[in-house]
């Protein structure tokens, strides 16, 4: 992600696992959703990651706020049947470049992002990163498939 995240845990508990960008070359990284998000290639809750990759584990309780910087691989697992979190993301392009320039370039220079952004602006008259990220996830109206 090309943004710093501040996640507030509102209800329930979540287990977070973090991998520092220095271990990117040890992961099986691939881009998802127009390269706006990068996947580490491992389901850290179901399969082992390479032994040289250090995972940092955090349990978030209601009222906790977790900060993690741009380009930090992470995984989240709900520990309770109902959990609510609020993620506030602050774009940080210079930080993304410092932490992993190649993945940042793959996002920023992706021509599909530019085309999708223009399309969203033409169709709605406005544009936001949220619109771009969630494009394609919009729920259909009643009776639509």
Task: State yes or no: pLDDT of 32 exceeds 80.
Answer: no
User: If 0-12 CB within 10 Å is exposed, 13-18 middle and 19+ buried, where does residue 57 land?
Assistant: exposed
Q: Say what the pLDDT of residue 139 is.
A: 54
> What is the C-alpha to C-alpha distance for residues 116 and 109, in angstroms, rounded to an integer?
13
Q: Is the pTM of this model over 0.85?
A: no
Task: State yes or no: pLDDT of 127 exceeds 50.
Answer: yes
**Residue that the structure tokens 């774009």 belong to:** 91
pLDDT tens-digit readout, 35-76: 566 666 667 667 777 888 888 999 999 999 999 998 888 888
pLDDT top residue among 137 and 5: 5
Q: Say what the pLDDT of residue 84 is.
A: 96
Distance (Å) of CA 46 to CA 54, 80, 83: 16, 18, 21
Q: Say what the pLDDT of residue 53 is.
A: 84
How long, in residues, is the chain? 145
pLDDT top residue among 99 and 39: 99
Q: Which of 133, 28, 138, 33 is nearest to 87 (CA)?
A: 133
pLDDT tens-digit readout, 100-123: 888 888 877 878 878 888 888 898
């Amino acid at each position: 992600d090309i943004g710093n995240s501040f996640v507030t845990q509102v209800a329930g508990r979540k287990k977070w696992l973090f991998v520092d960008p220095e271990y990117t070359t040890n992961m099986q990284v691939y881009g998802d959703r127009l390269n706006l998000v990068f996947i580490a290639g491992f389901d850290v809750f179901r399969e082992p990651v390479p032994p040289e990759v250090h995972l940092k584990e955090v349990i978030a309780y209601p009222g906790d706020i977790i900060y993690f910087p741009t380009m930090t691989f992470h995984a989240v697992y709900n520990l309770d049947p109902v959990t609510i979190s609020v993620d506030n993301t602050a774009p940080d392009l210079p930080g993304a470049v410092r932490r992993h320039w190649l993945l940042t370039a793959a996002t920023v220079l992706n021509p599909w992002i530019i085309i999708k952004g223009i399309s969203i602006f033409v169709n709605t008259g406005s544009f936001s990163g949220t619109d771009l990220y969630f494009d394609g996830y919009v729920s259909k109206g009643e009776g639509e498939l």
